[in-house]
Amino acid sequence: MNINFTYLPGDGIGPEIGEAALKVLNAVATKFDHTLEIEEHHLGGIAIDVKGTPLPAETLASAQKTEAILLGAVGGPKWDHLEGVDRPELGGLLPLRKTLQLYANVRPAKPQSSLIEASPIKAAYLEDVDFVIMRELTGGIYFGDKGRDENGAYDECRYSEAEVERIAIRAFEMARTRKNKVTSVDKSNVLETSRLWREVVIRVHQDYQDVELEHTLVDAMAMHMLSRGKDFDVILTENMFGDILTDEAAMLCGSMGVIPSASLGNGRLGNGRLGMYEPIHGSAPDIAGQGKANPIAMILSATWMLRTSFGLEAEAIAMETAVTAALDARQTTADIGGTLSTLEVGEWVAAHIT
């Protein structure tokens, strides 16, 4: 099988963790007799430096025709002086998601037993925690009208019923494959967009009566996620709330360096295969080029790519098994108790693909 994807190393530690993940993907391709067809392009800050724009035309063209996108990280202080769409995120990553209609960002929270001690949360609170956050990714305040006037600055938060409906459907469908529960997170006691959000989610729920639905305000959820995480299954929320809550959920897992994510839409030609896969952490420019970056989240993002965009379940399981073995054996970077470099972790996992 030809595994054709667009590879975007990006900025900061992106190229390092990407190299480690490619080591593992090559081992999987060899083991299972596949061919990797990788189209590498620039996105974000490096694209600004090399191409003069955060989203070059050739990068977008590649993403629009390949089956999946594997992304490292975008942004960094080097480009903080830029404004608006000249910035790596606003001019690169966000419009890429929007153009490809990748509106559903899925991030898991399931602590690995070998990393429980790495979490700042007491072990008792981590027992049986296994939920996913379904974050709406192409609407809300990040995409609203923004600017400054003589009195200050403004950012508009806007959602349409259609935007809420499609992400709600995605959440209920996922819950049916898990524990049949959706927790919808909003701020409906204050925000009109949240009142619309809650109304639409309740309406969509009428077609999913077999799935339990509860509503929680975002400030309460920030507490409940850490104190009773085992009570949740699929957490559904809007863009900015999801951005914040997913980083908080990383603390349950011991490190942001081990959590992958998938950004999904309705697929290309309706087949549901197109997706963008990336670790949830940032570009970490303070450690870039030093071999310190943890590549596990990037490797697991590649695992999700194989499973979700290419339907390669056995290959995905082989990667996950090798990652678990690395974590159990402490064959990791120093941030989670190991002594290996970024690339050495990738090489160790690649060598244990069976």
**Residues that are catalytic:** 142, 187, 219, 243, 247
Phi then psi dihedrals of residue 174, to 5 deg: -65, -40
Give me 292's structure tokens: 């310190």
45/24 Cα distance (integer angstroms): 26
252/241 Cα distance (integer angstroms): 17
Give first-to-last CA distance, the chain, whole Å: 18
Helix axes 342-351, 296-310, angle to 10 degrees: 50
124/259 Cα distance (integer angstroms): 21
161/138 Cα distance (integer angstroms): 13
Find the radius of gyration of the CA atoms of the chain. Answer: 20
